[in-house]
Every structure is written in C-alpha cells, then in structure tokens.
Amino acid sequence: MNSVRWGIIGVGNVTERKSGPGFQRAANSSLVAVMRRDAAKAEDYARRHDVPRWYADADELINDPEVDAVYVATPPDSHLDYALRVAAAGKPVYVEKPMARTAAECEQMITACEAAGVPLFVAYYRRAMPRFRTVRELLETGNIGTPRSVLIRNQRGADQPAAGPLPWRVRPEISGGGYFVDLGSHTLDLLDRLFGPITRVSGSATNVGGRYPAEDLVTASFSFASGVEAAGIWCYDAAQHLDEVEIIGTDGSLRFSCFGQEPLRLVGRAGDREIEAPYPDHVQQPLIQSVVDALTGRGESPSTGASALRTARVIDRLLAEYRQANKIIL
C-alpha cells in the first residue's frame, strides 16, 4: 500500500494528544475512523479531531473497507481480544503498551497475526523518540566508553484512592499489575532497545502501601545479552518523586529521565555537559511514522510484537511470586 488509513479502537485520554494526532500528521497516513463504546464520546472525538467516521461497535470499525490498519488503544485486558479480531479481518495491528496482561496473551496475539499474515506493532514509543535516539547515538559513538552497568530508580507518591472504582492501572485483572507494569515496562523495553534482550532477571514485588491490590514496590537485577548488568527499584509509595536512569561506562556515565524532559547529563573524560532532548508535540508520532513506513515498504519499525513479548516475559518473571501469593489469576 502507498498510504495507510487508520481506525482507532478506544479513543480515551491517550489518544487525545499522545497518539491520535500522530496518525494524521505522519506522512502517508490518515485517521479515518474511531470507535468508543459510548457513542456520544466517539462522535465528540471524531468531531473535535476531524475524523470522518465514528462507531460504537468495534467490529464495524474493524470491517470498514476503508480502514487499512487498526490501533487498539484500550486497557490491556482487551488487547488480546481486539488483536485477534483485527488479525482475523486481515488487517495490521498496532496495540497500546503494555502489549497485554501476560506474556501468554502476547504469544497468542503473535500467533494469530502470523497465521493471518499481518504485522503486529506495539506502542513502546520511546524506541523511536528523538530523545532516546540521542541516548542510543551517544552510547554507540563511545561517549562513555563501553557500557558496563545501569541503575534505574523510578518512584512517586501514592495516589489517594477516590470514591468509586480504583483506577484500572492498579487493578491487575485489567492491567496485569500496577504502575510498575504501566511505567516500568517503558524503561525495560527501552533498555532492551539499547542493550539487547535481557537474558537473566531476578527480583521481588510487594505491596507496602496497601491502597490497592497491585504491587507498589519492585526490585530487580538483570543481565543483557550485550554483557551489561543492571539493577532497578520502582516504588510507588514514596515521599520523593524520582525518575532516573544512569548508564555507567568505562569512560563516563549518562543520566536521563525516562518520563521527563530534563536535559541528558553526560559525564566523561572531556568534562560534564547537558544535552537538550525535548519531547515532540505528539510523543507517539515518530513510532507511528516508523509503523507507516513499514506498512508502505519505506522502512522498518523498532517496536514489534516480538520485541514487546520480551518485555512482557521479564515482567511476568518479576511478578510471578506476587501474583501467586495474592491469588491474582490472569
């Protein structure tokens, strides 16, 4: 195909700025249909974003002959179901991260897409963002020598539960876990991009705050295929907000925020310097462009079902004991 006409299933908050406009602004791409179970909200989104058609039924969007590919932007518990339906219709799938609640669900998605002969992409958009391409270039050009180790700290204060249902991100039956799955998966997937697959992982997960059923504290150590060793702590019941990845090499170090826009901090033999690396207006647009390029034969995308499956397997290993002890069955 020369261009891609997209449909979106689930036009919630993530599609308002992070992803939705990216389908309209990417070259050789257009957004032609959206779906949400609430018809009024689907119609409102379509009106505000100049999308020609809207639906309240996913199958109607999937089977729309003018929709070439489908972006699934719903919570993780429905990713498998929608991916299977899109694949059965013979259309490429682009699914939100995390790819699904478990690696087993991811494997089913990959199998279905392979059987249907359609590609599967996952919205781990940091793989394509200019900020993190800069990180990769700094490492590949030897600015810190040979990378040896990585330290990860991601912490934030606990959300105070409001009246009514808990947010889906801390309900394992919907999300697969808590904020570690939602946020930690981004960092783990980015490091997979930088250093290759994780070959060994060990750690623990617990709930120290008791505010919801999901884990809120995870510690881990892991090894990459490249020989780099890493350790991380993710705490979502902390007084101090901190988001930092530090890569330590034989000739220096590189520190950066995974979720903020602070300058990259490079320390080397030539001295210290800060490197500006802001986010694009629509953070998913660079990855969306790579997906469009892959579908139109103009390039490749760095985030596929195969790469996202590796991240899901690491998360499963770290949460296995917690899920078992707390009778979380997914």
Beta-strand pair 264-268/271-275: antiparallel
Residue whose entry in the numeric block shows the structure tokens 């034969």: 297
pLDDT value at residue 164: 76
Query: In the numeric block, which tokens belong to residue 161?
Result: 């539960």
pLDDT for 212-243, tens place per residue? 999 999 999 999 999 999 999 999 999 999 99
pLDDT at residue 289 above 80? yes
How far is residue 191's CA from residue 197's CA, in Å, rounded to a whole number?
Answer: 8
From 102-116, 187-201, 257-271, the region with the lowest mean pLDDT: 257-271
Choose between 304 and 161: higher pLDDT.
304
pLDDT for 145-177, tens place per residue? 999 999 999 999 987 666 678 999 999 999 999
Choose between 165 and 262: higher pLDDT.
262
Mean pLDDT of 288-312: 98
pLDDT at residue 8 above 80? yes
pLDDT value at residue 270: 77
pLDDT value at residue 269: 81
pLDDT at residue 271 above 90? no
pLDDT value at residue 256: 98
pLDDT at residue 284 above 70? yes
pLDDT value at residue 161: 62
pLDDT value at residue 160: 66
Q: How many CB atoms lie within 10 A of CB 28?
A: 14
pLDDT at residue 305 above 90? yes
**Per-residue H/E/C for the chain:** CCCEEEEEECCCHHHHCCCHHHHHHCCCEEEEEEECCCHHHHHHHHHHCCCCEEECCHHHHHCCCCCCEEEECCCHHHHHHHHHHHHHCCCCEEECCCCCCCHHHHHHHHHHHHHHCCCEEECCHHHCCHHHHHHHHHHHCCCCCCEEEEEEEEECCCCCCCCCCCCHHHCHHHHCCCHHHHHHHHHHHHHHHHHCCEEEEEEEEECCCCCCCCCCEEEEEEEECCCCEEEEEEECCCCCCEEEEEEEECCEEEEECCCCCCCEEEEECCEEEEECCCCCCCCCHHHHHHHHHHHCCCCCCCCEHHHHHHHHHHHHHHHHHHHHHCCCCC
**What domains lie within the chain, and their CATH numbers?**
4-125 (3.40.50.720), 130-279+311-325 (3.30.360.10)
Q: How many CB atoms lie within 10 A of CB 310?
A: 16
How far is residue 202's CA from residue 128's CA, in Å, rounded to a whole number?
Answer: 28
Rounded to the nearest integer, the mean pLDDT of the chain is 97
pLDDT value at residue 162: 62
In the chain, pLDDT over 90 holds for what percent of residues?
96
pLDDT at residue 247 above 80? yes
pLDDT at residue 186 above 90? yes
Beta-strand pair 4-9/53-55: unpaired
Q: Is the peptide bond before 278 cis (omega within 30 degrees of 0)?
A: no
Burial pattern 262-295, b for ≥16 Cβ within 10 A else e, equals eebbbbbeeeeeeeebeeeebbbbbbbbbbbbbb
